[in-house]
């Protein structure tokens, strides 16, 4: 079963069941080793860099300037 298939099934659950599952999944991240944690942060950094480079997301500087204008 793929992650997408699991996600599709999980989203069919009632809100209480999804909340319990989400809590368990988040708790499981607390048990990651330092190596696993560093790997995930590195992957996230690459992902964010790609989004910024492609213009898909805005830099913090742009977001704060827009917020200050409002």
Could you tell me how many residues make up the chain? Answer: 70
Q: Are 11 and 18 in contact (CB under 8 A)?
A: yes
- Mind giving me the DSSP string for 27-52? HHHTT--HHHHHHHHHHHHHHHHHHH
pLDDT in tens, 14-34: 999 999 999 999 999 899 999
Whole-model pTM: value is 0.53
Same domain, 16 and 38: no
Same domain, 6 and 27: yes
Q: How many CA atoms lie within 13 A of 39 on its CB side?
A: 6
Number of domains in the chain: 2
Same domain, 21 and 37: no
Same domain, 20 and 52: no
- For 23, the domain range is 1-31
Same domain, 38 and 66: yes
Q: Is residue 4 pLDDT above 90, yes or no?
A: yes
Same domain, 43 and 27: no
State the Cα–Cα distance between residues 47 and 29, nearest whole angstrom. Answer: 19
């Amino acid at each position: 079963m793929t992650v997408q298939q699991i996600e599709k099934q999980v989203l069919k659950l009632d809100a209480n069941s999804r909340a319990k599952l989400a809590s368990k999944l988040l708790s499981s991240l607390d048990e990651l080793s330092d190596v696993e944690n560093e790997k995930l942060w590195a992957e996230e950094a690459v992902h964010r860099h790609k989004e910024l480079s492609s213009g898909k997301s805005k830099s913090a500087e742009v977001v704060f300037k827009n917020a200050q204008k409002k």
